[in-house]
Amino acid sequence: MADTPRTIHELSAAFTKGAASPVAVAEAYLARIGALDERVGAFLTVTRDAALAAARASEARYRAGAPLSPIDGAPIALKDVFCTAGVRTTCGSKILEHFVPPYDATMVDRLRRAGAVILGKTNMDEFAMGSSTEHSGFQLTRNPWDLTRVPGGSSGGSAAAVAGGLAAGSFGTDTGGSVRQPAAFCGIVGFKPTYGRISRYGLIAFASSLDHVAPFALDIVDAALLLGVTAGHDPLDATSVAAPVPDYVARLAGGVSGLRIGVPDEYFGTGLDPEVERSVRAAIDVLRDLGATVERVSLPSTEYGVATYYIVAPAEASSNLARYDGVKYGLRVPGGRDLIDMVSRTRAAGFGAEVKRRIMLGTYALSTGYYDAYYGQAQKVRTLVRREFEAAFARVDLLAAPTTPGVAFKHGEKADPLAMYMNDVYTIPASMTGLPAVSVPCGFSASGLPIGLQLIGRALDEPTLLRAAHAYEQATPWRGRVPELA
């Protein structure tokens, strides 16, 4: 595939000119998955026939000069958290191993209507709980840059698919950093738009108030395209935003001249890998050189972010996951003494250790007598964090920070749950506030592992965020660097 275009916008241009064929491209991606995914472990389900049928339909549209959208014919992978009609959707869990939804998630439906060629469903931490994809109920996913390392998580399969050239773009979900962190680990773009910008309908809930649908892409233009076709109000999601969807690609030009960029002190403290800090500071210098003004800002509540997140997310998860009881769908362990026993056996067998840990944490946090001290208090901190961001955004247009404290770690390296949780320290605040944030590649460690720069913007101000990320990407050599897998 060395000579075929790899980004969606390049593919689309080639399809339009007749220089490439959606069917041939889909076949090439499927062949690459067949050849390489045994080593990467990105996919849980490959929907070969459906992908080829979609590619043929796309090809016919290009022939007729009527593609559905700028992503028509693009080979896309979906995290197995999105419900796909007629295609098994496991959410990375044994409890949903054989679950086949009768409906598409709204974002899946929008991708189909835009002509996307869906290649399959990707691996993930069970119910999106994790930062390494090691908590999948099914398989390990390996980082294409170093197969002994994790791709990040929870959307590790979707990140590895794009980084490994197994899909041109993909979607994950970002609840506490689950797209931005694996994007940083895999050297690609991970873009979490504003909460409510993309409908959550059909996204299997982990933590409802924190779950964001978010694309992975090889560059910012692709990220803008993927947002453009999936964003917009959905009558099936009461939390989806009604604001009109701008043409994100058209608004990428213009550079960063005159933009004020804030650098939060608290994102450069202890625990930050010096190599990561060096790359991120260098990236901020590039933005300054491009014409942005840079100033220090303070977000003092950052240190409470992880603790707050690990109250709110498990609390909501304990509620959202109550429905998996063996009664209606999914796994049922028979032979119980009575109904409650059947439910207990099913949940004991169906859920993995991390999911059980969070269900217990969340159940505790919502219990009578503890609610005020935990969930109630966490909501107050969340308000505090939101106010601090609002104050910062009164002075600056964007915030720049590392995406993660370190680079991709080895499988099994972070066995202690707390060490794993701390990986999300820089991504959690934008999740809790619902603010748009993007991770763009900003260099490599000495050992050749990618590093991510995180930019955070104002609510619904994706255009400014993407414009800055695009300017940075165009000015630096990191875009489109791919690992040698084959």
Residues with catalytic function:
79, 154, 178
Span 206-225, contacts to another protein by CB under 8 A? 207-209
Q: Is 203 in the site for another protein (CB under 8 A)?
A: yes
Q: Is 99 in the site for another protein (CB under 8 A)?
A: yes
Q: Is 236 in the site for another protein (CB under 8 A)?
A: yes
127 φ, ψ to 5°?
A: 55, 30
Q: What is the largest CA-CA distance in the chain?
A: 70
Q: Is 328 in the site for another protein (CB under 8 A)?
A: yes
Measured in whole angstroms, how far is the alpha carbon of residue 110 from the centre of its chain? Answer: 18
For the chain, the helix, strand and coil percentages under 3-state DSSP, each to the nearest 5: 45, 15, 45
Residue 103 or 268: the one with the smaller Cβ distance to another protein is: 103
Residue in 91, 118, 189, 280 binding another protein, rule: CB under 8 A: 91
Q: Is 339 in the site for another protein (CB under 8 A)?
A: yes
- Evaluate whether 151 touches 182 at the Cβ level (below 8 Å): yes
Region of 144-152, 163-171, 215-223, 325-333 interacting with another protein (CB under 8 A): 325-333
251: Cβ contacts below 8 Å, ≥ 6 apart: 463, 466, 467
Q: Is 343 in the site for another protein (CB under 8 A)?
A: yes
- 3-state DSSP assignment of residue 398: strand
Residue in 148, 257, 367, 383 binding another protein, rule: CB under 8 A: 367
Q: Is 340 in the site for another protein (CB under 8 A)?
A: yes
Residue in 375, 389, 393, 472 binding another protein, rule: CB under 8 A: 375
* Number of C-beta neighbours around residue 254 at 10 A: 14
Q: Is 4 in the site for another protein (CB under 8 A)?
A: no
DSSP string computed for 284-316: HHHHHHTT-EEEEE--GGGGGHHHHHHHHHHHH
19 φ, ψ to 5°?
A: -80, -15
Q: Is 315 in the site for another protein (CB under 8 A)?
A: yes
Question: Encoding tokens for residue 408?
Answer: 């991709």
Residue 139 or 319: the one with the smaller Cβ distance to another protein is: 319
Residue in 59, 125, 316, 473 binding another protein, rule: CB under 8 A: 316
Region of 55-63, 234-242, 419-427, 436-444 interacting with another protein (CB under 8 A): 234-242
Region of 128-136, 164-172, 185-193, 232-240 interacting with another protein (CB under 8 A): 232-240
DSSP string computed for 95-156: GGTT---SS--HHHHHHHHTT-EEEEEE--SGGG--SSSTT-SS----BTTBTTB---SSSH
Q: What's the count of helices (H) and strands (E) in the chain, helices before strands? A: 15, 11
- Evaluate whether 479 touches 458 at the Cβ level (below 8 Å): no
Q: Which helix (H) or strand (E) holds 213?
A: strand 212-217
Residue in 327, 391, 419, 486 binding another protein, rule: CB under 8 A: 327
- The distance of closest approach from Cβ of residue 348 to another protein in the complex, given in angstroms and rounded to an integer, is 14
Q: Is 268 in the site for another protein (CB under 8 A)?
A: no
- Evaluate whether 114 touches 192 at the Cβ level (below 8 Å): no
- The distance of closest approach from Cβ of residue 417 to another protein in the complex, given in angstroms and rounded to an integer, is 23
Residue 104 or 462: the one with the smaller Cβ distance to another protein is: 104
- The distance of closest approach from Cβ of residue 392 to another protein in the complex, given in angstroms and rounded to an integer, is 25
Within 13 A of 101's CA, how many CA atoms are on the CB side? Answer: 19
How many residues contact another protein, by CB under 8 A?
Answer: 43
Q: Is 144 in the site for another protein (CB under 8 A)?
A: no
Residue 101 or 264: the one with the smaller Cβ distance to another protein is: 101
Q: Is 366 in the site for another protein (CB under 8 A)?
A: yes
Q: Which residues bind another protein (CB under 8 A)?
A: 82-83, 89, 91, 96, 99, 101-103, 105, 200-205, 207-209, 235-239, 315-316, 318-319, 322-323, 325, 327-329, 339-340, 343, 363, 366-368, 371, 375
